[in-house]
């Protein structure tokens, strides 16, 4: 079972190429500050703009650098089922602990199409699969009923829920009979998601405040509710600032202020505005991260 604070890792660039030296710094920082897992090549890692070769190498380097210290959940999703199978098989071969697979964007499949997409991928691999449901970016929303049917597939073991619907985990858990892993995909409601039965959060904020994020989850698991609430309140302004503009623009700028990498981001996303930079910097200063 995956749990706790799991950063959705940014992909550092320099001169529009993947900066593997900075990737090492980022991963080391996240591991050393108590992260409970890592997700390379997710949306925060700008996976839509990575080449096939870059995508595979980033996962390979992440697994190598992590060296079994914490789990690696490889982002292997695509709106092309065959491509998702290729990425997932590759991640399994490298020794990833699980694969995070997003609902197919742009195509707008029906619930039947979603079911067949995930089932087909799962049948081509033995690696544990986590469904990534994020209707805000992919347009389609997997229903509870479809997720319940997919949970019957032996290696589909959990969900990253980025719907921000805090009633959904309760409804899903009520109807779900097996041991399913519930991970939030929304930093601002991550603690509330834990209260609804969640196990952790695949986080953007944890890229730059990994210690605070991991401490919040640990406090919750230890039933120190007041401490978890205190940390959550401290992080609230940073959570908000990191989504003032399209992610991962703000979090990459924050990482650049921490000396982890530069703020380069690939088109069609662009560097954030000066006003956003001021806000992000002030939030880091308030948390004494700068």
Q: Just list the catalytic residues.
A: 132, 160
Which residues neighbour 251 within 8 Å (Cβ) at sequence distance 6 or greater?
Answer: 10, 44, 204, 205, 207, 208, 242
Question: Would strands 13-14 and 17-18 be described as parallel, antiparallel, or unpaired?
Answer: antiparallel
What are the beta bridge partners of residue 203?
A: 7
Report whether 196 contacts 169 (CB < 8 A).
yes
Classify 41 as helix, strand or coil.
coil
What is the rounded CA–CA span in Å between residue 94 and residue 90? Answer: 6
SS3 227: helix
Location of structure tokens 């009979």: 177
139: Cβ contacts below 8 Å, ≥ 6 apart? 105, 106, 108
Say if CB 21 and CB 261 are below 8 A apart: no
């Amino acid at each position: 079972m995956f749990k706790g604070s799991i950063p959705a890792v940014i992909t550092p660039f320099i001169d529009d190429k993947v900066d593997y030296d900075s990737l090492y710094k980022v991963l080391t920082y996240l591991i050393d500050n108590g992260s409970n897992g890592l997700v390379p090549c997710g949306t925060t890692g700008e996976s839509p703009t990575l080449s096939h070769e870059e995508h595979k190498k980033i996962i390979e380097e992440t697994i190598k650098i992590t060296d079994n210290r914490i789990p690696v959940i490889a982002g292997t999703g695509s709106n092309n089922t065959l491509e998702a199978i290729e990425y997932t098989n590759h991640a399994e071969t490298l020794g990833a602990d699980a694969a995070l697979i997003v609902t197919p964007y742009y195509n707008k499949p029906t619930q039947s199409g979603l079911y067949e997409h995930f089932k087909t991928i799962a049948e081509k691999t033995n690696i544990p699969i986590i469904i990534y449901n994020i209707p805000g970016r992919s347009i389609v929303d997997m229903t509870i009923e479809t997720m319940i049917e997919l949970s019957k597939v032996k290696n589909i073991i959990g969900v990253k829920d980025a719907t921000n619907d805090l009633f959904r985990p309760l409804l899903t858990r009520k109807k779900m009979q097996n041991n399913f892993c519930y991970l939030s995909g929304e930093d601002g409601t991550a603690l509330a998601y834990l209260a609804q039965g969640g196990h952790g959060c695949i986080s953007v904020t944890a890229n730059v405040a990994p210690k605070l994020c991991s401490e919040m989850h640990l406090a919750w698991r230890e039933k120190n509710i007041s401490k978890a609430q205190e940390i959550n309140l401290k992080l609230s302004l940073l959570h908000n600032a990191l989504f003032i503009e399209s992610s991962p623009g703000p979090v990459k700028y924050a990482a650049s202020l921490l000396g982890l990498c530069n703020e380069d981001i690939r088109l069609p996303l662009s560097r954030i505005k000066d006003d956003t930079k001021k806000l992000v910097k002030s939030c880091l200063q308030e948390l004494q991260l700068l």
